[in-house]
């Protein structure tokens, strides 16, 4: 398992339960690491990290050796996603806190930015324009099974950028606050979003219709993934908890009925108390100041 840290390093941890300590530290960024992507590759696996220092670093996953430093973003890199890989090369997208999305060719031998309209991974002869789809920070990027790009942003929207239309937005999911993460449940035709308003939302992928708002966290929800096999979403929050939410039709129906019953009984708006101390709240606020 790879994790990015506030101390500017990427850490590799053994997955074996009897080896909980970090076995390798990857040092090379000059500011905290915001996102990490592992790419298996056919020749040698790579680790790719994005940092608040506005760079992307490519590492040899086995040796921990720093292979390439990619520059192009003007502000911190907050999201990385794999578009495709073929043999010893991969194509990834990155998003930053200035709203730019960029596309990169990645391999152990050479890594460089490429155009969104490029049919292959040929290195460009000049500067490459970024993709602009939001008004401010990009927090998360995900591809669905159709190859369309889904985004989560601090402009209070999540969007589907259609590949067939040059990555222009054809679906906009509006939220009351920053959208921190997004996940796709292709088998169920759903999109799941995590919001700073402490809630998890489930949307119909094809129409963009909001199906249900899951409540339970009592601080900002910062990450979400989909367990395709079990048909559920797993969320993580600043409140220090990990929670699961049903995505199957019967699960959503039951959750909606329970929410309506609570509302009818006047128990749905109970104030949620934070488990953080005042000192921890202050420290968290300080750390989050640069997270825009």
Identify the DSSP state of 262: H
Q: Which stretch of 150-164, 221-235, 246-260, 276-290 has the lowest confidence by average pLDDT?
A: 276-290
To which CATH superfamily is domain 1-132 assigned? Answer: YVTN repeat-like/Quinoprotein amine dehydrogenase (2.130.10.10)
Quick one: tokens of 165?
């239309």
Summarize the confidence of residues 53-71 as an average pLDDT.
96
Summarize the confidence of residues 243-266 as an average pLDDT.
90
**Cα separation, 138 vs 103, whole angstroms:** 14
Question: Is the confidence at residue 31, as pLDDT, over 70?
Answer: yes
Q: What is the pTM of this model?
A: 0.87
Cβ-Cβ contacts under 8 Å for 119 (sequence gap 6 or more): none
**Cα separation, 152 vs 157, whole angstroms:** 6
pLDDT per residue as tens digits for the range 189-240: 999 999 999 999 999 999 999 999 999 999 999 999 999 999 999 999 999 9
pLDDT per residue as tens digits for the range 93-136: 999 999 999 999 999 999 999 998 877 777 887 889 999 999 99
Residue 85: how many CA atoms within 13 Å on its side-chain side? 19
């Amino acid at each position: 398992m790879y994790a990015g840290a506030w101390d500017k390093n990427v850490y590799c941890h053994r997955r074996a339960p009897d080896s909980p300590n970090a076995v390798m530290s990857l040092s090379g960024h000059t500011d905290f690491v915001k996102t990490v992507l592992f790419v298996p590759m056919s020749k040698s696996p790579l680790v790719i990290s994005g940092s608040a220092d506005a760079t992307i670093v490519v590492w040899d996953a086995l040796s921990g050796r720093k292979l390439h430093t990619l520059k192009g973003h003007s502000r911190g890199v907050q999201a990385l996603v794999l578009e495709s890989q073929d043999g010893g090369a991969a194509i990834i997208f990155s998003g930053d806190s200035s709203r730019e999305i960029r596309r990169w060719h990645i391999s152990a031998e050479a890594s460089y930015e490429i155009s969104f309209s490029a049919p292959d991974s040929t290195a460009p002869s000049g500067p490459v324009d970024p993709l602009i789809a939001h008004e401010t920070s990009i927090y998360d990027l995900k591809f669905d099974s159709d190859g369309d790009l889904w985004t989560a942003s601090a402009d209070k929207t999540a969007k589907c950028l259609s590949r067939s239309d040059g990555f222009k937005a054809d679906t906009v999911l509006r939220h009351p606050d920053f959208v921190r993460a997004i996940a796709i449940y292709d088998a169920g035709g759903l999109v799941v979003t995590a919001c700073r308003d402490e809630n998890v939302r489930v949307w119909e992928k094809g129409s963009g219709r909001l199906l249900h708002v899951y409540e339970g966290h009592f601080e900002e929800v910062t990450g979400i993934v989909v367990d395709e096999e079990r048909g559920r979403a797993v969320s993580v929050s600043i409140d220090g908890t990990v929670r699961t939410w049903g995505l199957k039709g019967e699960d959503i129906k039951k959750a909606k009925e329970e929410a309506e019953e609570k509302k009818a009984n006047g128990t749905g708006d109970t104030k949620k108390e934070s488990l953080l101390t005042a000192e921890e709240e202050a420290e968290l606020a300080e750390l989050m100041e640069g997270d825009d």
